Amino acid sequence: MLLPTNHDPDSLIREEGPEKFTERILQSQALSDYFFEHLSKDLKLSEREHRAKLKAEAEIYLKQLPLGAFRELMIKELGRLTDLYISDDEAILAYQQQVKKQRQNHDRLSLPSYILALLIQNPWLAETVEKQQIAWEQFDFEGIERFNAILKLILTVKPGNYGALLEHYRNHEDLPIIKKLAAYNFLLSEAGLEAEISDAIGRLSAQAREIRVSKLLTKEKNQGLDAAEKELLRKLLTS
């Protein structure tokens, strides 16, 4: 979506409101259409030389896309427009390098923050999270209060997109965190997002369970447990 001159998403939402901003998104030109229309506007695709020029220029950008459904569709569309064979082999090495860099970045992003980043960028995943039926209040890790607050807002409000979510954090102390997580780059296709967040939640649940078991075992050794704590420990050890 192209924004008016001297506007970024934040300033445009402030001026027009989230509903108008959402309407702009829905009415905007598809990225794939804009991409090929922009690159071919001065070319005559009826001529082979011009089609070859479009292929050469478009491949520079397409090779930087992560592997997935969108990338495949873009490459197929380039092949249709140019009537030339499009090889995707060269891009695999670039993709592998991107994955390596992504994994290095992921090492610096905690698992709770990773889950929030997925949700902030894709609020529709709230339904997937709710299906997990996780007792989030029982989790114990650094930053749990802020994690629960952001998660609760997303699950309660169910914003349709990032722009709508951003409006709820206008002038909020957590706004810098929301923007930082929104800028995190996922090398994932939309089809893989549900499986990714379900897997991340499963890993976070396992970590939380291990922490609680460790604390209960330590308390049992040093102080002893009451009946409720013993029952909780038994459930955690058998789950």
Chain segment 74-102, per-residue pLDDT in tens = 888 888 888 765 555 555 555 555 555 55
- CATH fold, domain 109-238, is DNAb Helicase; Chain A (1.10.860)
> Distance between CA atoms of 91 and 29, rounded to whole angstroms?
26
Sketch the domain layout of the chain as residue ranges.
9-100, 109-238
Residue 174's CB is within 10 A of a number of other CB atoms, namely: 13
> Distance between CA atoms of 59 and 75, rounded to whole angstroms?
8
Q: Is 197 left (phi over 0), alpha (psi -120 to 50) or beta?
A: alpha
Cβ atoms of 112 and 204 closer than 8 Å? yes
Rounded to the nearest integer, the mean pLDDT of the chain is 78
> Distance between CA atoms of 130 and 97, rounded to whole angstroms?
34
> Distance between CA atoms of 145 and 67, rounded to whole angstroms?
36
Given this model, what pLDDT does residue 90 score? 52
Model confidence over 157-167: pLDDT tens digits? 888 888 888 88
Helix %, strand %, coil % for the chain, to 5?
Answer: 70, 0, 30
Question: To 10 degrees, the CA torsion angle through 108, 113, 114, 115?
Answer: 160
Find the range with the poorest average confidence among 1-5, 54-58, 134-138, 201-205: 1-5
Ranked by mean pLDDT, which of 45-54, 173-182, 217-226 comes out on top? 173-182
> Distance between CA atoms of 70 and 60, rounded to whole angstroms?
16
Given this model, what pLDDT does residue 162 score? 85
Given this model, what pLDDT does residue 32 score? 76
Cβ atoms of 201 and 129 closer than 8 Å? yes
More confident residue, 22 or 8: 8
